[in-house]
Amino acid sequence: MPDPHFYHRAGPFTLRELGELPDIELAENVDPDLLISDVKPLDQAGEGDITFLSNPKYADAFQITRASACIASRKVLDKLPKGLSILIATDPYKAYARVATKFYPPASSSGRIHPTAIIAPSARLGADVAIGPYAVIGERVEIGEGTVIGPHTVINDGVQLGARCRIGASAVLSYCIVGDEVAIYSGAKIGEDGFGFAPDPVGHVKIPQLGRVIIGSKVEIGANTTIDRGAGPDTRIGDNTWIDNLVQVGHNVNIGKGVIIAAQTGVSGSTVIEDYAVIGGQVGLAGHIRIGTAAQITAKSGVISDIPAGQIYAGYPARPRKQFFRQMAILGKLAKNKGSEND
């Protein structure tokens, strides 16, 4: 249950209002004027609450829930408990996300600028921009309307932020252009120097990093993630891409739209990740490779060569997932037989 000390709840809403959200409809014989005051899990929901059922293994809890309404798919309508109103959705989990967001929308900007914030005279701030304590806004910075800058955050010279962005505490942004409705969480570092040098036994020679980081709209960048600026070409992150905490993105990387990258993944320089690829946690990608559209890479894989579009790869070196598991099974049998010979 969301703690009201931290979360502000909107509503209540009628089932008719909730049914107007995308991909949701009211089942037959449902009272559209029934008021719903909160969203809760199946086993915690009570009168006035709405819950959801997306996993069949929770069907027993569905039967005994005390919720007033439930989001579910058509295939469970015959298991409807008496008195429970149903909102029908093809994907109940996604529908629940939309309903929960309606009850708990992201906080809008207060429009307040803390007196300890340091703002350069040439910075341009849109309407209702909020800036937290001890934040630093550099020269020629442009910040779009409704954007919120957290405490101790540094927005360095020349950075451009779109409208309704959320920049967490202690983030540092440099050499970057950011679209609208982007969330960059606490401690993230965007636009730092790329890892570019020419090796030399006397002393490595630094290669100037002269590019930028270009981030599209509706992107999420997790806490303590780092994205290096390009060496000459820009580092690019496409619209609606979500990057988890503790991810490293090297210089000149080009990430398409709708990509998902889980925590502790490292993306080496000049790698291309095409649209809608999904990369699991702790994956390592070598530089100058291409991950195809909608490809998937399982957690802890090591990728040293291109992955074709739509393929699922696993292991180190990463290979097609079925091949990886087949090889692991063969190795397991060989090890077992070897152990039997030594007994």
Catalytic center residues: 251
For residue 50, which amino acid is it? Answer: I
Q: How many CB atoms lie within 10 A of CB 122?
A: 13
Distance, C-alpha 38 to centroid of its chain: 24
Q: Are 236 and 257 spatial neighbours (Cβ–Cβ below 8 Å)?
A: no
Task: Based on DSSP, count helices (H) and strands (E) in the chain, helices before strands.
Answer: 4, 39
Helices (H), the chain: 15-19, 59-64, 92-103, 321-342
Task: Name the 3-class secondary structure at 204.
Answer: coil
Question: Taking a C-beta distance cutoff of 8 angstroms, is the pair 231, 196 a contact?
Answer: yes
The residue among 36, 16, 35 whose CA lies nearest residue 26 is 16
Phi then psi dihedrals of residue 314, to 5 deg: -150, 160
Residues 6+ apart with CB under 8 A from 128: 108, 109, 111, 145, 146
Token pair 């800036």 in the structure block, residue: 131
Handedness of CA 59, 63, 64, 68 (dihedral sign): positive
Secondary structure E strands in 170-249: 172-173, 176-178, 183-184, 189-192, 197-198, 205-206, 213-215, 220-221, 226-228, 235-237, 242-243, 248-249
